[in-house]
Structure 1
Amino acid sequence: MTHIALKNFQMGRQKLKNRAVLAPMSRVSTRGDGIPTIAMADYYERYASGDFGLIITEGTYTDRFFSQAYPNQPGITNAQQLDGWKRTVDQTKQHDTKIILQLMHGGALSQHLSNTRAPSRIEPMRNMLPGYSRKQGRYPIPQAMNLAEIDQVIEGFINSSQKAKEAGFDGVEIHSANGYLLDQFITPYTNTREDQYGGSLGNRIRLTTEITELIRQFHTDDFIVGVRLSQGKVNDFDYLWEGGLEYGRILFNAVANAGATYIHFASEGKGFDHGSLTRNGESLPKLAKEITNLPVIANGGLHHPNESERILNDGHADLIALGTGAIANPDWPRKIERNEEINEFTPDVFQFGVDIDSQMKFEHSQLTTPLDAL
């Protein structure tokens, strides 16, 4: 019997050849100018040639003010960066794979800037992530954003979506998860504002919905506009929404009413059940699917065929996104089709501190299926 992840899927007005999605992963893989490289284009193409139906790129910064989260993070703020992404898009689309650009603002979790911006002047929890920059230790205390700076953020997302369309992307994903700026607005302990962007949950999701609605208005219906949400954060993996299902109901309906094409529920670090369930064990992705009728993407340890099939068959999601599972199995859909052994990801694949070409070659050497055999 064909694995359900291999069946095609209608995403808005775009038809995907299957339900296997490459999850966005911060690879910090440019040369420092934010311009996507040839190595990056080859990196994304390897998943397209491995038969993934949809690729969501790494988080891409949206303006030259305060959005960049990491050194060597790609951007889409100028013509040179746009041209670099166009090469990636062209190579990917040779394999009948759709590709979406994830738009991201680091906010208080920037490891690139010393002068950061956030909803409120609150020091982020825990230390900076190792391996993503030379800066380590505590995050700087951000300055609270004024309304003009919030408008600047909105404009950056809109302009970036237009450049993404020009580069040939099939859509964009608004990164409102994992503790970055838009999630900082949603989260009560990082947002103590008393204006229209603070207070109630409806106000705290406002920046995400305004961006979603405006991007939707700027593009035709065949342009995908997804929104990524999560409970956990890169600096607080164990965080769960305090309101459980009711919290989710408000957020999911707000995103749907703003015109999102899909909801991507991130559950990284400790697997699907850890990040996608409420304190009472209820499935938030399943709730999103039931109350919005939007396509829902789930992730978190779903490279195991039985687990991904359970998530899809039991109605938790419509598509599954693989991150580290895809790094270990860039041809995952083909392996599932052929009933081949699935590799487990091991951390030694990551060699922090080397240039991107060396990193990609090292990852390639760790795989049982070489890229040129796909």
Structure 2
Amino acid sequence: MNYHQLYSTFNFKDKTIDNRFVVAPMTRISAEDDGRANVTMKKYYERYAKGGFSTVISEGIYPDDKNSQGYYNQPGLANGSHTESWKPVVDAVQDNGALFIAQIMHAGGQSQGNPYTNETIAPSAVAPKGEQLEFYGGEGSFPQPRAMTEEDINQTKEAFVQSCLRAKEAGFDGVELHGANGYLLDQFLTDYLNQRDDQYGGSVDNRLRLIVELIEDVREVVGNEYIVGIRISQAKVADGEHKWAGGEKEAEQIFTKLGVTSLDYIHVTDADGAQPSFGEETRTLAQAAKEFSHLPVIANGQLGDPEKAETVLNNNEADLISIGTGALANPDLPHKVKKGIKLEEFDFQNTLLPKAYVKEHELEKELTP
């Protein structure tokens, strides 16, 4: 099949990428104990750039040394040593032709591993549903978080801003604010987790207020030429079945509001990025984001099949496709698809250390004309 859309160019600001394949952000828990990036991470990210992905989005990076970290051995951008540790990783990705975007993530009440504190904070004193992820070192139910004060909110915004500045200093091509999957920004957006009665709670506009303020605060310090995106979802790590109470109408409110900010793109993730997200005969989440925001959209969710991904692009439901488990199994997926090489199935046992990127020489031999 001729995947014309997947292998077409796309412009991010003044940067032109040569295909629409994006590596999705995935929790890797392979940083140093103090949050510094390391050689393992360099090899991990570099492999995707060598494998033909035009854009790589990092795993969630915590922005401060207070309440933001979500997992032990999660990387940070909370201080100068973190910034310096990312520089060789960024260089390795960019030297191999890919854009590298840092995803900035505050775990909020969904944190399950933070060496800086035992306390979690959230919009309200409501524990996330579900259980912590044992695969990432968690155990049991989430504790009840402390409801954030106005001072906490201001400190959190400043932490995001400073972390984005550090990302720029480290050389990343842009930043993605993590407003999905049940982490802090999504907690503010979620009705049952946000029971505030101030300007940050209640209506959709109020629950979205922190995200909108944060986008503009970040834009002010990184400048107009720097890429700034956001990730949005309905489902959460601890509540995979969650849907917005207002359905497609609420999606219209959210994406319309985001569309008049200074964002450069919206990255949406769903269980299946090609299926209706609000019930039968409704839009996909990506389609809703694109139609209501009028911004470029990255679609995510079981889109590793190139025919399926090409269809999403052809239908104008998204502009780029981000791939998670398919990329773990095939860090060279864009090269393989182009050459007609069969894709490997995802193997859960190889999630933390995908065998493909440590056997780099074998793959390079296989792809040599």
TM-fit CA distance, 1:363? 5.6
Structure 2 residue corresponding to 1:132, chosen from 136, 157, 170: 136
Instruction: Name the CA distance, whole Å, in 1 between partners of 2:255 and 2:196.
Output: 22
Q: Which residue matches 2:55?
A: 54
- CA offset at residue 240 of structure 1? 1.3
Contact 2:268 2:298 in 1 (8 A): yes
Cα distance in 1 for partners of 2:156, 2:58 equals: 20
Deviates more, 1:75-84 or 1:10-19: 10-19
- Look up the match of 1:330: 331
* 1:158 paired residue number: 161
Q: TM-score, normalised by structure 2?
A: 0.94
User: What's the secondary structure of 1:6's corresponding residue?
Assistant: coil
Aligned pairs for 1:293-304 within 5 A: 293-304=294-305
Aligned length: 362
Instruction: Give the residue type in structure 1 aligned to 2:133.
Output: L
Q: State the 1:163 CA deviation.
A: 0.5
The answer on whether the counterparts of 2:43 and 2:357 sit within 8 Å (CA) in structure 1 is no
Whole-Å separation in 2 of the counterparts to 1:189 and 1:292: 25
Say if 1:80 and 1:52 are closer, same or farther in 2 by CA, change over 3 A. same
Q: Which residue of 2 aligns with 1:355?
A: none
Q: CA RMSD in A?
A: 1.8
What's the TM-score once normalised by structure 1's chain length? 0.93
CA distance in 1, matches of 2:336, 2:187: 38
Instruction: Determine the C-alpha separation between the residues in 2 that align with 1:371 and 1:82.
Output: 31
- Match 1:243 to one of 226, 242, 246: 246
Whether the aligned pair in 2 keeps the contact of 1:14 and 1:222 (CA below 8 Å) is no
- Structure 2: distance between partners of 1:34 and 1:199: 35
1:14-35: per-residue Cα shift (whole Å, max 9, x none)?
A: 2112110000001011121100
Offset, 1:315: 1.3
Give, in whole Å, the separation in 1 of the partners of 2:166 and 2:360.
Answer: 34
| SS in structure 2 at match of 1:227 | strand
The residue correspondences of 1:65-76 to structure 2 (distance < 5 A) are 65-76=66-77
Measured in 2, the distance between the counterparts of 1:30 and 1:363 equals: 20
- Residues 249-276 of structure 1: CA deviation (Å, up to 9, x unaligned): 1111222222110000012xx42246x6
Q: Give the whole-Å Cα distance in 2 for the aligned partners of 1:67 and 1:363.
A: 32
Q: Which residue of 2 aligns with 1:78?
A: 79
Three-state SS of the structure 2 residue aligned to 1:226 is: strand
The separation in 2 between residues aligned to 1:283 and 1:369, in whole angstroms, is 39
The one-letter code sitting in structure 2 at the alignment partner of 1:97 is A
Return the alpha-carbon distance in structure 1 between the equivalents of residues 316 and 361 of structure 2.
Answer: 33
Aligned to 1:195: 198
**Distance in 1 of aligned mates of 2:4 and 2:342:** 15
* Aligned positions of 1:1-374 closer than 5 A: 1-113=2-114, 114-133=118-137, 135-267=138-270, 270-273=271-274, 277-280=277-280, 281-350=282-351, 359-360=352-353, 362=355, 364=357, 370=363
State the identity %.
Answer: 41
Following superposition, the deviation at residue 80 of structure 1 comes to 1.1
One-letter identity of the residue aligned with 2:10: F
* Alpha-carbon distance, 1:79 to partner: 1.3
Structure 1 segments unaligned to the other structure (5+ residues): 351-358
Q: By how many angstroms is 1:43 displaced? A: 0.6
The answer as to whether partners of 1:210 and 1:258 remain within 8 angstroms in 2 is no
Q: Distance in 1 between matches of 2:9 and 2:308?
A: 19
Equivalent-residue separation in structure 2 for 1:103 and 1:150 (angstroms): 16
| CA gap 1:18/1:241 in 2 versus in 1, 3 angstroms | same
Distance in 1 between the 2:7 and 2:157 partners? 36
Residue 279 of structure 1, CA deviation: 2.1
Q: Which residue of 2 aligns with 1:356?
A: none
1:11 CA drift (Å): 1.9
- Measured in 1, the distance between the counterparts of 2:64 and 2:210 equals 16
